[in-house]
Structures are given as structure tokens and as C-alpha cells.
Chain A
């Protein structure tokens, strides 16, 4: 069944006519990064950023490359130059004041290089929230830079936390917490370090996800019998019920235009992905195969991006969990990560990177994947387990 909501959103978002979700003729640009005089830290981080961007083929010194990056760093700041080899044109020449934070400066430079060379906005300054488990039975809320560095464990409750989601302005994180022994939705304010309760009804309160304009939160509540989908005002109150089934609903994710919510329902037996209008009404089923699909994540690429909005899902195929991308035209799911148990994809704001959790040897770690090439990179390991990543937007 074609979902006209879905196609309309895709067309509106990109104005594109392409049937394919991912650029099939994507080619990386080759680049060589010479060490920045006085700033090995900056060039190391920068090289990693260019690699993780997925848009560059990093060449060794002396190898031919379409672009070369050079620069210098001193107490005053960092200068960076990007030269196009064929034309010898300096396509980027900029001075950056550094606050002494080499990583942060390198990330700014990397985004400038990605923007200049590819015309697309980079992700090097973005953050990822996730669930950090230092030991069995304890799960805390944590954030880190998109490259896995600067991990900050935000809670020390010694209890279970889950399902973090950023507000679009990056100031708050809604998440599930067993602070009173029950699953409740809390909102943490990162500037003030304060937390407040968003939902603590009887039963399960979980799955909070902010609408793209930050005004509404979709969430899962079972207070009326079994887990159903609701929305509420981000400021509190205004509860509205969206689903009425005998099965369990969970895991809402918002469309880019904020009008439609995709979510999980097992009303027909096993969990599948559905959509419903933000004001409720008749749901539309999206997935039919494989038999078990959960944790939809709807990408929100910027207008003019070279990718359409996509829905990533976690599927179970023959007992193995896989991260895949759903095609509304064929209703098929294309696996993107299937080695080990791969779950819980979250999209970068550029719409072509995913971070997901992979369980390997019963340990959960986070991986970054570029859907244009399917290349995946394990993010730096930290002691303990990492799961349920949530990528923050640009702001």
C-alpha cells in the first residue's frame, strides 16, 4: 500500500524526482592533510573528521589527491588552507581563533572544508546522547561528541535510564528514568543541570521524542490499559491519545514536516512500523516483511540536501538484529548493518550518517555508518557498554 503522506513529504523535502533514496553514483573526493605546523592535535582530529564525514578518501603525504589541506597553529589561533590541486586554486583560506580547545577548532575547520568541497553541511560539531552502562543493572544518561570523544556521563543515579532524545535546540534531553523505581519520562536541562518530570503516570512512561519544532513530544504511555501512543506539549500538559489498540505501541519518531509520526505496533502479532497523523486517526501500516521491525528513526535532512528523508529501522531476521532503511515505494527494507546484532539507528542531521548499537560478544558498542557507502566505523570504546544513541540536530 503506498503511503501518500510519506511520498508527499519526500517530494516536498527535496523537490527531487529520483526513485533511489541514496545517491548511487556517489564518489569521494581525495584529500591529503599535511600536518599543521605547531598543531598536531588539530590535524589529527581534522583528518579523523574528514574520514568520518564519508565524503573524503584520505591520502598519505606524497600521494596524489584532488585537494590538499595545510595550515599552522599557534597561541593566537589556527590558519587553514585548502587547495584544489588541478587548478591550484585556494578554495578555502581562513583563520580561526582557538580557545585552546584543539578538538573543537578542528571540528569547525572540518565542517568548513566539507561545506566548501561538497556543498553540504558537515556534522563534526554535532553531539550524540546515549545510554552508558558502567556495570550490569546500571544505565546512565551520557553525551559525547559525534566522533566518540568528550564523553560526559550526566547522571549518577545508579538506576536504569533509557531512550534519550534531544530537543531540536540542543538544550534539553528527554529520557526514560527509573528514578522512583518506575519508568518515567524526565527532561534534563543541560545548561542548568536541572531535571523535571514530563510523565509519571501509572504504567510505562517512555519513548519521548520531540517534534521538529520542539513544541510537542510524542511518547508511549500505558496508563489507559496497555502501551499506546500519545502527544503532549513540550512545556507540559496537553496530553492527547493517538492510538487505540489491544497491542502495544512504542517508539515514536516524527516526520520532517512534523505532521506524521512513525511508530511500532504489535497489534497484529509481531511488531511492525506504522504511521499516524499527529492529531490521531486511522494508522497506516508501512512494513510487512521481515516479520519483526522496531525502533523507526525518521531522518530530517536539510532542504537542498543530496538525500531524501529516510526511515531507518531495526529488523529481526532469523534471530539476527539488523539496521536497515525502509523504501516506501516497495515496502522493502535494505539492510545497512547486519553483522552482530545491530539495533537502534539514529540519523545525523545531514541525513546520510547513522549511529547505531552493535552487540558483539554480548557487549554493546556504538558504530557510525555512512548510508552512501555502507562503511561503518566503531566509535572509540569506553569501559562499559554504550547503547540507545540519539544524534542531536544542528543549532
Chain B
């Protein structure tokens, strides 16, 4: 009886101490790996402005959009899209070729912006804008531009070039723009 009691006490003590300390040991050696804290780089300021808080997601390199950006080089190669569509029309493919040619023999990088017209919801349009930027990126990859030279960013319907509310303006706002960053 005494032995069994002692065994029980010892067992419970072991279980209790394992619970207090062993879980972290367990997770350290067998648990899911969490992404490393991002080192360096700015953090979002608090609401209303000021200092800030952590991110524990590693985003992969992204260009600094506050750095020098050249919108003029490919201003004539803005690719336009049909309503609801992210398909690069054959009428637009010469622009892709022109961009691909201009990117040969140098190390220029591109930010490809995807945009929609103002109609419809902000959230779905953010996804559609990304599809448009991705379609332009994929077309450039097919034309020989290395994928790691290009970054996509969707602005959905939030950055129209034409402010009017008619079909002509809408057709000019459904677009992908090509911005040169870095050298």
C-alpha cells in the first residue's frame, strides 16, 4: 500500500513538473516551427501615430516603395483590360514585348501595379487587381524576364488615373502599370 502510494505521488509529481516545464521543452523540440521574428525594418506605428509593435512573419524581400521609382519609362506601355477580366488581350501583347526588350541587358526591377475601375466592391477588386498584375508578370516571364525582377502590388479600385465616372474613364482605369525601381 505504502509503495503504491509513493509510486502514485512520484508519478503525479513527475506529471505535474512535466506539465509545468515539459510542454515548452516538448514544443521546442517537436512542436511546429514558428517563423523567425523579422529583424530590422520599420513596424506599423500605433493608431494615431507614434512607436510600434512586432511582426513575426517573414515577408521575403520587397522593394522599398518610398525609394526612387520611375513611372515614365513604361508610361506608354500601360496594359488595359476588359471589364471583369485579367486576360492580357492580343492587342496589348506588343507592350509586353516592348517592356521585355527594354529590360534585357540591365538589372532594372519592376513593380507591376494592378488596378480596377471604381465599380464594385473594394475587396474583390483588390483581388482582381492582383490577378491583372500577376497576368502581366506571367506574360513578361514568358517573354524572358526573370520572375525575381518583378513585384506585384494591387491597388484595387483605389488609385484611378481618370477621375470621371463614365465608361471611357473606367476603361482607362482597368490597367496594369509598370514602375521601374532600383538599378
Contacts and interface: CB of A to CB of B under 8 A. Distances in A.
A295 B35 contact: no
Interface residues of B, number: 48
Q: Which of A176, A226, A238, A249 gathers the greatest number of chain B CB atoms within 10 Å?
A: A226
Interface string A185-222: 01010101111111111111011000000000000101
Contacts of B128: 248, 266
Contacts, number: 166
A255 interface: no
Given A137-B158, A199-B57, A236-B34, A156 B48 contact: yes
B47 A180 contact: no
B68 interface: no
Contact of B120 (A137, A141, A248, A294): A294
B70 to A, nearest CB: 15
- Main secondary structure, interface of B, reads loop
Interface in A166-188: 176-177, 179-183, 186, 188
A250 B124 CA distance: 6
A305 interface: no
A181 B66 contact: yes
A4 interface: no
Given A194-B53, A204-B127, A237-B34, A180 B62 contact: yes
B139 interface: no
A180 B32 contact: no
B130 A227 contact: yes
A231 interface: no
Interface stretch (B7-15, B16-24, B90-98, B146-154): B146-154
Given A182-B62, A183-B126, A388-B123, A270 B48 contact: no
B59 A200 contact: yes
B124 A294 contact: yes
A155 B48 contact: yes
Contact of B153 (A179, A182, A193, A223): A182
Interface string B20-33: 00000000000010
A197 B165 contact: no
B4 interface: no
B32 A197 contact: no
Interface of B: 32, 34-35, 42-50, 52-57, 59-60, 62, 65-66, 84, 86, 119-124, 126-131, 134, 151-156, 158-159, 163, 165
Interface of A: 131, 136-137, 139, 141, 154-157, 160, 162-163, 176-177, 179-183, 186, 188, 190, 192-204, 206-207, 220, 222-223, 225-227, 236-238, 247-251, 264, 266, 270-271, 292, 294-295, 314, 316, 319, 321, 341, 343-344, 362, 387-388
The 9 closest A-B pairs by CB, nearest first: A181-B65, A197-B55, A250-B127, A248-B127, A196-B53, A227-B127, A294-B124, A204-B130, A200-B59
Given A156-B49, A202-B151, A226-B130, 15 more contacts: A156-B48, A177-B44, A182-B153, A196-B55, A202-B59, A202-B60, A220-B126, A248-B124, A248-B130, A249-B127, A295-B123, A316-B120, A321-B121, A344-B122, A344-B123
5 contacts: A181-B153, A197-B55, A220-B127, A222-B134, A341-B119
